Amino acid sequence: MIIQDEVIKALKGVMDPDLGRDIVSLNMVRDIRIEGNRVSFKLVLTTPACPMKARMEADARQAVSSIPGVKEVAVETSSEVPSAKKLPEKENIHGVKNTIAVASGKGGVGKSTVAVNLAASLARSGANVGLLDLDIYGPSIPTMMGINEPIQVNAEGKMKPVVNYNIKMMSVGFVLEEDAPLIWRGPLVMQIVKQFLKDVEWGELDYLVIDLPPGTGDAQLTLAQTIPLTGAVVVTTPQDISLIDARRAITMFEKITVPVLGIIENMSYFLCPHCGKKTEIFSSGGGEKTSQKYDIPLIGNIPIDTEIRAGGDAGKPIVISNPESPQSVEFGTIAGAVASMISILDMK
């Protein structure tokens, strides 16, 4: 006869490679059932974007299959994203488990492109995702996400996010006319940032991806002072001037005690569609050097690609329009790395 203690003992030998602990002590194993020579259980991961999902499921299945008498193993895999740890001096956004800032030291490096495709990749994995456009002076999320609707307000006076591609969004671009300039001084910028953080009915979100303006100014500091950021990713391009500014952004996050989850090198190279030759237009190796200098992982190298640009212009990010493309796979890898880093932080 198979007993539950044998199943638990076997599963204690299965480790989460990111968290470095066994899946039983992490409370990932639920609802063990034994029916004759058949064993079934639920494997609850810390994120639907877990890059080790297949490996962990296979290891758990193999561990239970090795128990004498077991003929069949059924594993039901799901996920529960943990919430970031609360900080007593900062108030969390109600219903939002984790906040991810997407930043760059300078403009023109494709930060918003990374933000929308990161959000889309997380949403495609099955997570509940929001996208907040805090690039106040240059809001591009409405265009890149293919929707521009006026903001509605609920009975409690909170703004309701605009939804497209199963992603909840908020942007100052939904308030302004398309060609209207935004001529606001610092205090007004800080006020709208606080409103978007506190006065939006986000509902239940696993991840809120926040597209910051470039640089290290009012919006970034207000964000860090207002809510507990789970972490940040810094987007750069390979050339020296971008890397210098990216390092400033990394230093800023270090000073305000926000973990930098990873560096993303955008426009890393151009791959000729005709001959397949790889050309590093903006130099090479800069992201890797910055990664080594600050001991922060380089989690993605995104090529210059017309399909990525066209998707942003058409309001349909490449992860949505062509999810099987190599570029979308790279964004998926980035999303998995970000989700894994967050899980490690949340479970410590």
CATH number at residue 31: 3.30.300.130
Strand partners, 78: 44
Q: Please indicate, yes or no, whether residues 337 and 228 belong to a single structural domain of this protein.
A: yes
Domain coverage including residue 52: 4-79
* pLDDT on residue 96: 93
Say which range, 79-93, 110-124, 146-160, has the weakest mean pLDDT: 79-93
The helix (H) or strand (E) run that includes residue 33 is strand 29-35
The helix (H) or strand (E) run that includes residue 263 is strand 260-265
Confidence of residue 109 (pLDDT cuts 50, 70, 90): confident
Q: 236 with 104: CB under 8 angstroms? A: yes
Strand partners, 74: 40
Final residue in a domain of this structure, among 31, 48, 79:
79
Q: Indicate the number of domains in the chain.
A: 2
Six token digits for residue 281: 């237009």
Dihedral of the alpha carbons of 208, 346, 232, 88, in degrees to the nearest 10: 80
Angle at the Cα of 327 from the Cα atoms of 284 and 259, rounded to 5 degrees: 65
Q: Is 323 within a domain?
A: yes
Confidence of residue 119 (pLDDT cuts 50, 70, 90): very high
* pLDDT(187) > 70: no
* pLDDT(26) > 60: yes
* pLDDT(135) > 70: yes
Q: Please indicate, yes or no, whether residues 227 and 330 belong to a single structural domain of this protein.
A: yes
Round to the nearest angstrom and report the end-to-end CA distance of the chain: 38
Looking at every residue in the chain, the average pLDDT score rounds to: 87
Q: 131 with 116: CB under 8 angstroms? A: yes
Q: What is the pLDDT averaged over residues 229-233?
A: 92
Residue 68 CB-half CA count within 13 A: 1
* pLDDT on residue 176: 66
Q: What's the pTM?
A: 0.89
- Separation CA 330–CA 190 (nearest Å): 34
* pLDDT on residue 101: 93
Closest CA to 103 of 199, 221, 18: 221
- Residue 266 backbone dihedrals phi, psi, to 5 degrees: -95, 160
Q: What is the DSSP string of 195-223?
A: HHHHSB---SBSEEEEEPPSSSSHHHHHH
**Integer CA distances (angstroms), 331 to 209, 295, 299, 326, 336, in order:** 14, 22, 10, 9, 9
Q: Please indicate, yes or no, whether residues 111 and 172 belong to a single structural domain of this protein.
A: yes
* pLDDT(262) > 90: yes
Q: Is 329 within a domain?
A: yes
* pLDDT on residue 203: 93
* pLDDT(185) > 60: no
* pLDDT(13) > 80: yes
Q: Is 336 within a domain?
A: yes
Final residue in a domain of this structure, among 51, 79, 107:
79
Q: Please indicate, yes or no, whether residues 73 and 125 belong to a single structural domain of this protein.
A: no
- Residue 268 backbone dihedrals phi, psi, to 5 degrees: -65, -35
Closest CA to 168 of 124, 195, 132, 118: 132
Q: Is 205 within a domain?
A: yes
Final residue in a domain of this structure, among 48, 79, 110:
79
Q: Please indicate, yes or no, whether residues 22 and 158 belong to a single structural domain of this protein.
A: no
Dihedral of the alpha carbons of 129, 215, 311, 325, in degrees to the nearest 10: -70
Q: Which are the contacts of 114, defined by CB distance < 8 A and separation ≥ 6?
A: 102, 233, 235, 264, 266, 302, 331, 334
